[in-house]
Amino acid sequence: MVDFKAIRDEFPILDQEIHGHPLVYLDSAATSQKPECVIDAEANFYRTINAGVHRGAHELAARSTVAFEEARAKVAKLVGANAAEGEEEIVVTGGATAGLNLLATAFGNASLGRGEEAAKRFALKPGDEIVVSRAEHHSVLLPFQELAYRTGATFKWIDLTEDGRVRTDNLEEVITDRTKVVAVTHVGNTTGAITNVAPIIKRAHEVGAVFILDACQSVPHLKVDFHALDVDFAAWSAHKMYGPTGVGFLYGKREMLEALPPANFGGSMVELAYMDHEAQYMAPPARFEAGTQPVAQVVAAGVAAEWMMNIGMENIEAHEKTISAELLKLGDINGIRILGPRENVDRIGTVAFDVKGVHPHDVGQFIDAQGIAIRVGHHCAQPVHRHFGLYASNRASSGVYNSVADAQALVEAAKGIRPFFGAE
Ligand SMILES: Cc1ncc(COP(=O)(O)O)c(C=O)c1O
């Protein structure tokens, strides 16, 4: 039995009052708070072993390299990826956005004929298709839309059901023999809906397309296994999984990473560099990690991954399910509409809602005045909001430190919104 009250006590930031009320943090989909062990790991790295990795012959450099690679292995274990030397499937990035842009840039480079023979599988030309879903965060939508502009490929998307789930009933129509890339979110950052990715991945592979998963909102909340899912690439951020900001990870099947040409160029990614002929690049993951890496943050992200595994991803998922059940009661309040599935099935504790007649910024301030932090705006997912006929909404999102009482506090506060603003 996991003591979630004790887990909450590991988060120093939560022990404070906001506007005279105990802080209720329900904005973990934007960024999660950090447990003491993660904060300590980052600080202790600087106190004891700070040095550049994979360079220098001195002892501190050796120790920081070991710490960096051990962190990569812990993160790999969290998502069921390989970590053995020479078989690494985890690339360090600056975050999910950086990882997704890395892929789009590398595919663009392959389209220009860069890379080895195997890189041709990523090359796009006019007539080819890139498919995303309407549920995407802008960090999937925009890099792949740009890739389409640059290569002349056609940009297409899978639409949503009325309650905001990614449709799977028309995949043969949308994903065709001309589709080369399919990029879909694992969990909608607005709707909280878990995408039924299996048939999408199956269809993508049937037509020979590369499948990319945006795992930003799944890795912190669900047990994920990229091998079992059979995704080709997946990107996510450390700061949403109780780790530091400024760092993220890109998973790639080993053979995919080996075939992919580099996207960023510079130090620590090249075997041989010359003035008068082409450089010879390193094997993955180094090939994709140009420049000095955020070592302290990676080490702390490894601690976060281990901390999550110690609690147990199944336990985290079950705990957050009790919170989503409570948050969904927002939909019972007169004038409040949930944007996403109403039932507590195949969803996480991210619940976006519209308050009829009250602007989201007013809602946010009203709720904040009671010490409760939620997100308002379009959550970097404008097409999702258009699907619901809106341009912005309010979003509550849970983390492992939340209690049912937190969700109840929001629901109670939300009952007062429309009366306070005199909404018709
Ligand atoms: C589903 C999803 N994808 C991608 C991102 C981008 O993550 P980051 O801003 O950490 O790069 C986010 C962040 O909100 C997200 O929720």
Number of domains in the chain: 2
In tens digits, what is the pLDDT along the chain, a chain of 424 residues? 899 999 999 999 999 999 999 999 999 999 999 999 999 999 999 999 999 898 778 999 999 999 999 999 999 999 999 999 999 999 999 999 999 999 999 999 999 999 999 999 999 999 999 999 999 999 999 999 999 999 999 999 999 999 999 999 999 999 999 999 999 999 999 999 999 999 999 999 999 999 999 999 999 999 999 999 999 999 999 999 999 999 999 999 999 999 999 999 999 999 999 999 999 999 999 999 999 999 999 999 999 999 999 999 999 999 999 999 999 999 999 999 999 999 999 999 999 999 999 999 999 999 999 999 999 999 999 999 999 999 999 999 999 999 999 999 999 999 999 999 999 7
214 close to ligand 1 (CB < 6 Angstrom): yes
Q: How far is the CA of 147 from the centre of ligand 1 (A)?
A: 19
- Cα of 275 vs centre of ligand 1, distance in Å, is 39
Q: Is 414 exposed, middle or buried (0-12, 13-18, 19+ CB in 10 A)?
A: buried
Q: Is 365 among the domain residues?
A: yes
Residue 424 belongs to a domain: no
Residue 229, SS3?
A: helix
* 255, 285, 309 - which closes a domain: 309
Give the number of the atom of ligand 1 that is nearest the alpha carbon of residue 237.
10
* CATH assignment at residue 375: 3.90.1150.10
Same domain, 96 and 19: no
Which mutation among 102, 141, 217, 384 tests ligand 1's pocket best, with the greatest number of atoms within 8 A of CB? 217
Same domain, 21 and 56: no
Residues annotated as catalytic are: 380
Token readout for 114 is 């860069």
The first and second tokens of residue 118, run together, are 């195997």
CB distance 97 to ligand 1 below 6 Å: yes
**Are residues 96 and 182 located together in one domain of the fold?**
yes
Domain interval for residue 358 = 4-30+312-416
Tell me whether residue 345 is in a domain. yes
Are residues 268 and 131 part of one domain?
Answer: yes
Hey, which of 380, 395, 397 would you mutate to test ligand 1's pocket, going by the most ligand atoms within 8 Å of its Cβ?
A: 380
Q: What ligand 1 atom has the least distance to the C-alpha of 379?
A: 14
CA-proximal residue: ligand 1, atom 7 (nearest)? 96
> Within a domain: residue 66?
yes
Would 183 be classed as within a structural domain? yes
In CATH, what number is assigned to the domain containing residue 95? 3.40.640.10
How far apart are the two ends of the chain, measured CA to CA in Å? Answer: 47
Indicate whether 13 and 147 sit together in one domain. Answer: no
Domain contains 36? no
| Overall pTM > 0.75 | yes
Give 167's DSSP letter: P
Distance of alpha carbon 112 from alpha carbon 293, whole angstroms: 28
